[in-house]
């Protein structure tokens, strides 16, 4: 079964601390993995995708096929990083369907 699991519903850190949002997936094949972010009262937007291997707003994510994980990391969290983060998966022959995890709310305290 295709599934994306984000084990933490809420993650609270202090400004300047490292942050890691966990994402594990289940998919038979080679999926495309994404991280989407939804800031308060703003639209859902793409943060990262695994094939681009970029760093956006200081965030990085590495696809680990052995552990079927795609954790999101940032070495020094900022208050403006506070948002809902969704890990999502897209597979071949899925018609573009995105399978979302349940989301992790990141709260960065001053």
Partner 1 sequence: DTEVTQTPKHLVMGMTNKKSLKCEQHMGHRAMYWYKQKAKKPPELMFVYSYEKLSINESVPSRFSPECPNSSLLNLHLHALQPEDSALYLCASSPTGGGPRVEQFFGPGTRLTVL
Does residue 105 interact with partner 1 by CB under 8 A? yes
60 or 94: whose CB is closer to partner 1?
94
In the region spanning residues 20 to 49, those forming contacts with partner 1, defined by CB under 8 A, are: 31-32, 34, 42-46, 49
Site for partner 1 contains 65 (CB under 8 A): no
Does position 85 interact with partner 1 (CB under 8 A)? The reply is: no
Kindly tell me which of 6 and 81 has the beta carbon lying closer to partner 1: 6
- CA 13 – CA 93 distance, rounded (Å): 39
- Contact call for residue 84 and partner 1 (CB under 8 A): yes
Least distance from partner 1 to the Cβ atom of residue 43, Å: 5
- Least separation in angstroms between CB 23 and partner 1: 12
- Using DSSP's 3-state secondary structure scheme, residue 25 falls into strand
94 binds partner 1 (CB under 8 A): yes
């Amino acid at each position: 079964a295709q599934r994306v699991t984000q084990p933490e519903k809420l993650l609270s850190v202090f400004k300047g601390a490292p942050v890691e949002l966990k994402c594990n997936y289940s998919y038979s094949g080679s999926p495309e993995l994404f991280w989407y972010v939804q800031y308060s009262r703003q639209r859902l937007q793409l943060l990262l995708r695994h094939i681009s291997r970029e760093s956006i707003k200081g965030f990085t994510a590495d696809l680990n096929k052995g552990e079927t994980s795609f954790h999101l990391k940032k070495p020094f969290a900022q208050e403006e990083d506070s948002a809902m983060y969704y890990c999502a998966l897209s597979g071949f022959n899925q018609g573009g369907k995105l399978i979302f995890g349940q989301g992790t709310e990141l709260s960065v305290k001053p």
